[in-house]
Every structure is written in C-alpha cells, then in structure tokens.
Amino acid sequence: MGGKNGYFRFGARVVRGRWFMLFGAMLIMCGSGQTYIYSTYSKAIQTTLGYDGEEMDIITFCRDVAAYVAIFGGLVCEVAPSWVVLLIGAVLNFGGFIMTWLAVMHKIQRPPAWQTGVYVALGTASPNFAHTIALATCVKNFPESRGVVLGLMKGLVGLNAAIFTQIYLGFYANDPRGLILVTAVFPTIFYLGFMFTIRTIEADRQPNELREFLNFFYLTIVLALFLMIMTLLDKYIVVTRNGHVIGAAVVFILLLLPLYLVIKQEAALSKLETHDHLNYPTRDEVSAIDKKPQASAAPQQEHNTPSSSVSCFANIFKKPERGEDHSILQAVFSVDMVYIFFITLCGYGTGLTAYDHFGRLGQALAKRERLVSSIVSLVSIWNYYGRVYSGFLSELLLLKWKVPRSIVSTVMLVLQSIGLLLFAYPEIPGAYYVASVTLGFTLGAQVPIYLAIISEFFGLKYYATLLNFAQLYCPLALYLMNTKFTRVIYAKEAIKDVIAQGKDPALVKDPVCEGSHCYRLSFSILALIAFIGALISLKFASRTREFYKGDLYKKFRNENRRDGDMLIRRFGGEKYMKFGEAQGKAISETQMAQHCNKR
C-alpha cells in the first residue's frame, strides 16, 4: 500500500467509507435496546430503594412513555446533524442511568419514585435519538438493500438484553446493579465513538452488495447462537466467575468481527480503483469535464425554482405518487398508512400481548419456574431470527420476483395466528414450546417489513420521523388488547377458580388462575384478530401489486450514478462498480472516450 503513508491513506479510506459507517451503526443498535432490559434491573431498583408496587408502577409508566413516544426524536433527526442527535442520545443515556446507578448504590439520597422514574425515562429515551438516526442513515446509504439493512439492524436491537447481560456478568457477577452501570457506560461509548461516522454517503450499489450483507448476517448468527448457549447454561448449571469473564470477552470479540469484513471490502475496492486508474478518468477529471454543462444548466434550474413557498397544510391531500418524497402529514393521512395502521395493530397488538403473558401462562400450566424463565429468555433470540430472516427474505422476493413485502407479513400473521391458537389450547403436546418459538419469530419478522414499506411508499426525506410514527401504534395496541381485554378475561377466570375452591374472591388478593382454560378465550380471540390482520395485509398486497412490479430503486440509481460512471469491472472473480459522486449532468460516452484517448 505504499509504506506508512499508504497504510494511513487506506485507514482513512476505511473510516470514511459506507461499510465502516454500517459497522458503527451496528454497534449503536446493539446499545439501543434499553427498554428490553428493564425487567432485569427494575428488581434491583425495587429491592435496594424499597419501593412498593404502586411506586414501581409510576417508574414503569415513565419508562413506557419514554420508550414509545419516539416521534420527538425523529423530528430532531430531521433538523439536526447526525453528530448532534447522537450527542443528545449519549447525554440522555449516561445522565439517566448513572443517576439511577448512584441511587441504587446509595451514593445519593434515596429519591422519590417519580424522580427515579424521570431518571429511567431519560435513559430509556436515548435510543429514540441514536437508534433513529443510525437506522435512517443506513437506509439512505443502502437504499437498494433497505429490507436487508432494516432486518439486520432491528435484529441487533433485539439482542441488546442478552449482550448487556453477558457483559455485566463478566464484570459484576450476579449483582443486577452492575447492569445499570453497564447500560450507562457502553451505549454512551458507542454513541460518542461513532458520532461523526454516522452520516449520509452517496455511492452506487455494488453488484455484490447482498453477498456482503449475508456475511454480516452470518457473523450476527454466531453471536446469537453464543448468547443462546450462555443463556441456557446460566439457567441450568452454575457458571463460574471465570466462565462469565470468558463469555464477556467472547461477546466483545464477536461484536468487533464485522470490522474484518469492512476492511476486506474496502481493500478490494481500493485495488479495483488502482487497477482502473490508467484506463478511466479520476473523479477530479470527471468533475472538470462536467463543469461547463453544469454551469450552463444552472440558470435554467434557477429559473425553474418556485418563487413562493406553499404551506404544508395546503398539500395534505395532494399527495405525490408512491415512492416519491411525502411530507409528514401527507404520509400520515394517506390510505396506505391507514392499511399499515390496522395491520400493525393486529400484528403488534396480539404478539406483544402474548409476549407479556408467556410467564403467567407457564405458571398456569404448572411448568417449572426455571423452564418458564428459559423460554421467556429465548424469545428474544427467536425475535432476532425473525427480524433478520424477514428482512433478507422480503428483499430477495422483491428483487427476483417483484413480490410485495406485505405478502411476507401476511404469511407471518397467519403463522402468528396459529401460534396464538396453540397457546389457547396448551394441552396439545408440545404446544407451549412450539408457540413460544412461533410467536417470537413472527413478532420480530413484522418489524423490518413495515419499516421498509414506509420507506418505499413515502420516500426517505422524512423517514426518521415516519419510522417512529409507526411505533406509536404499540402502546395503543397494548392498551386495547392487553390491559382492556386479556388481563380482564384472565382476572375473571381467576375469580372463577377462587369460587370453585369455595373461597370468597373479596378476601383473595391478586387471585391466580391455574389450568389450560385460563387463556383459552382471550388467546382464541387474539388468534382471530391476527388472522384478520393477515387478510388486511393480503388486500394491501393486492392494492400495491402494480407499484412493486415497477423499478422501485430506479430513482436512487438515477440520482447516484451517471452513464459515464457505470464502469463495472471484474476483480478477483467478483464484480465491482467504480464509484462516482452524483453530478447534475451525465458525461456522454463520446466525451469519456475522447478524454481517455488524450491520456
């Protein structure tokens, strides 16, 4: 590479490249699942600070509000640079969780419940900024592989709880208070460390891009399998302190392994550009060729600029075509968003409700506590596989056969309906175990599909806000199907059991239902709702079929490349595309040939 200067230039190239940006975004996503570990450290808060049930409800409410009202983070992402958004996320994360840690370690005076709730809410709100800007930027940098990107990124968020659990066990053994400190420190390091790495980088799609994403996928599978093995070992055997330290070290190594793929990819592209340097003009030379046409086109562009701006409210119902950039209000009030609303309400609502009752159903079936705990822990692993698999599958079906993404969501909702029915009739042999895998997988599989659909229909201009708008459906779905429906029916079944035992329900606090009948009615209805969601998704696929038959990514190819830049070469048996910055005017083949002959 030409000595020390060559290595330095190559290192600078790696750090400035798209693939290093992807690596940084992956680590940020690994540190953006604070809401998934609340159930672990909340026990430490309650026991060390002596809060009762009502006070813990206040803290939980603050956590839920901060976790799901993420649209404000999206709005900030629209107006602020990426580094500012990540800095806000770092400050919120460290400030919120370090104050919580100081409280549980009794290094500050015992705060009232509402104050601890504010600390937890601040820390929980941090991913709304960091997670949003990393995800939206990755989609903009890899627009023609957005399904794969969304599946990979959202899958890593689902592994956050398992990753941080292994890290804190390596440092603090079995003290849950250590998990709070780990959550305060490591996401903050990720956010600040890649503060200037997460940015939009214009480049052409490489023909081998999907293959490179598959390599990243394989490494994350290894990470997920290792976390699954360590989780099961913790449940069934006594892991020594040295074992936890080794486990934490392995997790760190697996998190850094994708950096090897980044370096390998940039090295191949660097060799390709060096190989093509004698035959093709450089970027500066291309710019010189384009300078004159651009100058002549400038007055016309200026002439075509509207002289007056139009209020955003005036165009709410004058929507552009699908695939073009919509304003936030145009997207929110569109018919397509209404379809997405009902599909996600049926899918997320039933899936999240079932997830909330996994443990209680196991207790009703008289399953061993350790077994139930293992099943609940493994659901996050199945959730990861669902997110990553659906992202790759929907992208592959779209590229090869123009299959609408909502077809994949239809299949997942049908499978989810079957899983809910298995929960409703747990006396079927193996139903509880099969249903836990099915529900975890299908619930995760829906996440990247809906986010990809939103980006494809409404454009990427306000994607940071729109992807968070979709998350607003979660609290509504949980309130309707969990709080107001499933829990009410469970309470009635529990009261029936108390009466059958000859006891007065008024004298029994928090009655418990036992038997396979406890969730039969509620989960049967939830299965019906999920199936209705599948039918709506199928109708949505029919409605958008013509849209997906077209070239969805033509816009990005036109924006990011010119005829003169489409130089596809072979190197080492692989196809690579010579990158070029977007220009306002294409170089004709004649200009290119004349310039090469002069050289």
Res 244 pLDDT > 70: yes
Q: How confident is the model at residue 592 (pLDDT cuts 50, 70, 90)?
A: very low
Question: What pLDDT, on the 0 to 100 scale, is given for residue 121?
Answer: 94
| pLDDT mean over 523-534 | 97
Range with the largest mean pLDDT of 46-55, 98-107, 301-310, 472-481: 98-107
Q: Is residue 84 part of a domain?
A: yes
- Same-domain pairing of 550 and 588: no
Percent of the chain with pLDDT over 70: 86
Where is the domain boundary, 273, 299, 316?
A: 273
Q: How confident is the prediction for the chain on average, in pLDDT?
A: 84
**Which of residues 291 and 236 earns the better pLDDT score?**
236
Of the candidate ranges 63-67, 304-308, 382-386, 412-416, the one whose mean pLDDT is the lowest? 304-308
Based on its alpha-carbon atoms, the radius of gyration of the chain, rounded to whole angstroms, reads 26
Res 274 pLDDT > 90: no
What type of residue is 382?
Answer: W
The burial of 277, by beta-carbon neighbours within 10 Å (0-12 exposed, 13-18 middle, 19 or more buried), is given as exposed
388's tokens? 């990553």
Question: What pLDDT, on the 0 to 100 scale, is given for residue 291?
Answer: 47
- Nearest Cα neighbor of 448 from 393, 383, 390 is 390
Q: Is residue 284 part of a domain?
A: no
pLDDT digits (tens, 9 = 90+) for 83-127: 999 999 999 999 999 999 999 999 999 999 999 999 999 999 999
- Nearest Cα neighbor of 460 from 561, 552, 543 is 552
- Same-domain pairing of 44 and 137: yes
The burial of 573, by beta-carbon neighbours within 10 Å (0-12 exposed, 13-18 middle, 19 or more buried), is given as exposed
Res 136 pLDDT > 80: yes
Q: What is the crossing angle of helices 431-458 and 146-158, to 10°? A: 140
Pairwise CA distance, residues 483 & 476, whole Å? 10
Q: Is residue 295 part of a domain?
A: no
What type of residue is 543?
Answer: R
- Nearest Cα neighbor of 478 from 443, 430, 431 is 443
Pairwise CA distance, residues 440 & 270, whole Å? 42
Q: Is residue 296 part of a domain?
A: no
Q: Is residue 499 part of a domain?
A: yes
Question: What pLDDT, on the 0 to 100 scale, is given for residue 597?
Answer: 46
- Same-domain pairing of 596 and 492: no
| pLDDT mean over 227-256 | 91
- Nearest Cα neighbor of 449 from 416, 421, 420, 410 is 410
pLDDT digits (tens, 9 = 90+) for 176-217: 899 999 999 999 999 999 999 999 998 777 778 888 999 999
Print burial letters for 524-554: b (CB count within 10 Å at least 16), e (below 16): ebbbebbbbbbebbbebbeebeebbeeebbe
- Same-domain pairing of 424 and 536: yes
| pLDDT mean over 17-34 | 95
- Same-domain pairing of 371 and 258: no
Pairwise CA distance, residues 485 & 75, whole Å? 33
Residues 239 and 233 sit within 8 Å (Cβ to Cβ): yes
| pLDDT mean over 537-551 | 94
Res 433 pLDDT > 80: yes
Residues 157 and 481 sit within 8 Å (Cβ to Cβ): no
Pairwise CA distance, residues 459 & 309, whole Å? 21
| pLDDT mean over 70-83 | 91
pTM score: 0.85
What type of residue is 400?
Answer: K
| CB-side neighbour CA atoms (13 Å) of 34 | 36
- Nearest Cα neighbor of 462 from 334, 331, 333 is 331
Residues 6+ apart with CB under 8 A from 593: none
- Same-domain pairing of 349 and 266: no
pLDDT digits (tens, 9 = 90+) for 444-486: 999 999 999 999 999 999 999 999 887 777 878 888 898 889 9
- Same-domain pairing of 225 and 345: no
Pairwise CA distance, residues 122 & 132, whole Å? 16
Percent of the chain with pLDDT over 90: 58
Q: Is residue 257 part of a domain?
A: yes
- Same-domain pairing of 337 and 441: yes
CA 118 to chain centre: 25
> Is 569 in a helix, a strand, or coil?
strand
Where is the domain boundary, 273, 308, 334?
A: 273
- Nearest Cα neighbor of 361 from 212, 551, 519 is 519
- Nearest Cα neighbor of 525 from 390, 424, 394, 395 is 424
Pairwise CA distance, residues 122 & 183, whole Å? 13
Res 556 pLDDT > 80: no
- Same-domain pairing of 466 and 576: no
Pairwise CA distance, residues 226 & 251, whole Å? 8
- Same-domain pairing of 94 and 198: yes
15-21-25 Cα angle (round to 5): 135
- Same-domain pairing of 475 and 540: yes
* CATH number, domain with residue 526: 1.20.1250.20
The burial of 291, by beta-carbon neighbours within 10 Å (0-12 exposed, 13-18 middle, 19 or more buried), is given as exposed
State which H helix or E strand residue 570 sits in.
strand 568-571
Taking every pair of C-alpha atoms in the chain, what is the biggest distance, in angstroms? 100
Of the candidate ranges 312-326, 375-389, 583-597, the one whose mean pLDDT is the lowest? 583-597
Q: Please state the domain count of the chain.
A: 3
Give the other-Cβ count within 10 Å of 481's Cβ.
25
| CB-side neighbour CA atoms (13 Å) of 221 | 10
Q: Which domain holds residue 586?
A: 563-599
Residues 198 and 21 sit within 8 Å (Cβ to Cβ): yes
344's tokens? 């996600």
Pairwise CA distance, residues 558 & 584, whole Å? 10
Q: Is residue 286 part of a domain?
A: no
Q: Which residues pair with 99 in a beta bridge?
A: none
Pairwise CA distance, residues 526 & 521, whole Å? 9
- Nearest Cα neighbor of 387 from 48, 89, 36 is 36
User: What is the signed CA dihedral for 384, 412, 137, 305, rounded to 10 degrees?
Assistant: 180
Q: What is the crossing angle of helices 487-500 and 520-543, to 10°? A: 160
Pairwise CA distance, residues 328 & 333, whole Å? 9
Of the candidate ranges 44-48, 289-293, 518-522, the one whose mean pLDDT is the lowest? 289-293
- Same-domain pairing of 449 and 532: yes
Res 279 pLDDT > 60: no
Res 536 pLDDT > 50: yes
